[in-house]
A and B are shown apart, each in its own frame.
Chain A
Amino acid sequence: MPGLTDDDAQNHPYRSLGLRFWLPWGGAMALAIASFPALVYAAQHDLEQPWRIIVMGAGTIAFTLALIGLNLLPHRTAQRRGLMDPMRPAMRRYQWRFMTPMLLYVVALLAATYYWKSAQPAGLIAMAVALAPAIPLLFALRAMFLLLREETDEYLRGRMLESWMIAALLAMSICMVLGFLDQFRIIPHIPLWAVLPIWAVCMGPVQLLRKDRCV
């Protein structure tokens, strides 16, 4: 690997990025967190069309873009500045496999919401419309499974698993608490699909707080 040295910057690439990077990154994180309640609000309140689809669409796109930013930006910036090793093949494949379904998900969600409102389908068509946004997300989860299988480095794989697991425990805790608040009608109903964006948002602080983060 020509050009690589053992300097401190390379062993601490995220710290070396500095505040000029992390402040805008924090903005992307705040956007992700803020867009999710907006989505729930839109789902719970019967906004007049076309406002409902505009709010849903804008919220979903904002969340997806923030997620892309959260996942890619620190890595890409550190690599561009020579602070980090080149991306490993399994990770490169993962990013394509993950990002493509995520973008398809946004399109599917907007199309399904619009069709549902305008055509009010029933039976099997209704089920197909309801599942349309879920299918790309299943492919995104498949990308994560494939990354775990294809990453040959035992240390990186272990670190990745640990981060995902800690975020999953956080997401389960949040969903469990929200679930009981929901059951006793303290808060509005929260759909089950929320577990996935909650987990994704949890990944941000988990990655940030890890002292030896690498993926």
Chain B
Amino acid sequence: MKNILRELRAEKGWSQGELAQRLDVARQSVNAIETGKYDPSLPLAFRIARLFGRRIEEIFDDGAA
């Protein structure tokens, strides 16, 4: 699944580690999500969306639309 997490993180000027801390996950998880190696669970996707004040579908794109 594609996502714009890296762009959103860059807008805030956060490192992967800083974003991981805010989401209460490991830095490797942020990296895996950004690089599309891992699709987060629904609860984590909601946490990411809330942190950036966006809707889930604005951040993640499953290519179906």
Contacts and interface: CB of A to CB of B under 8 A. Distances in A.
Interface of A: 1, 4-6, 10-11, 85, 88, 152-156, 158, 212, 214
A153 B20 CA distance: 10
Interface residues of B, number: 20
Contacts of B37: 212
B4 interface: no
Nearest to A154: B41
Given A4-B17, A5-B15, A155 B32 contact: yes
Interface string B15-28: 11110110011111
A90 B2 CA distance: 30
Contacts of A212: 32, 37
A156 B24 CA distance: 13
B16 A153 contact: no
A205 B25 CA distance: 27
B27 A85 contact: yes
A156 B28 contact: yes
B9 to A, nearest CB: 9
Chain B's interface: helix, strand, loop or mixed, by majority?
A: helix
Contacts of A214: 26, 28
11 contacts: A1-B21, A4-B16, A4-B17, A4-B27, A152-B24, A153-B25, A155-B26, A155-B29, A155-B32, A156-B29, A158-B38
Nearest to B21: A1
A6 B15 contact: yes
A213 to B, nearest CB: 10
Interface of B: 15-18, 20-21, 24-29, 31-33, 37-38, 40-41, 44
Top 4 nearest A-B pairs (CB, nearest first) are A4-B17, A1-B17, A155-B29, A153-B26
Given A154-B44, A155-B38, A1 B28 contact: no
Among the interface residues B20, B28, B29, which one has the most CB atoms of the partner chain A within 10 A?
Answer: B28
Contacts of B21: 1
Contacts of B24: 152
Nearest to B20: A1
A155 B16 contact: no
Nearest to A156: B26
Nearest to A13: B28
Nearest to B33: A155
Contacts of B41: 154
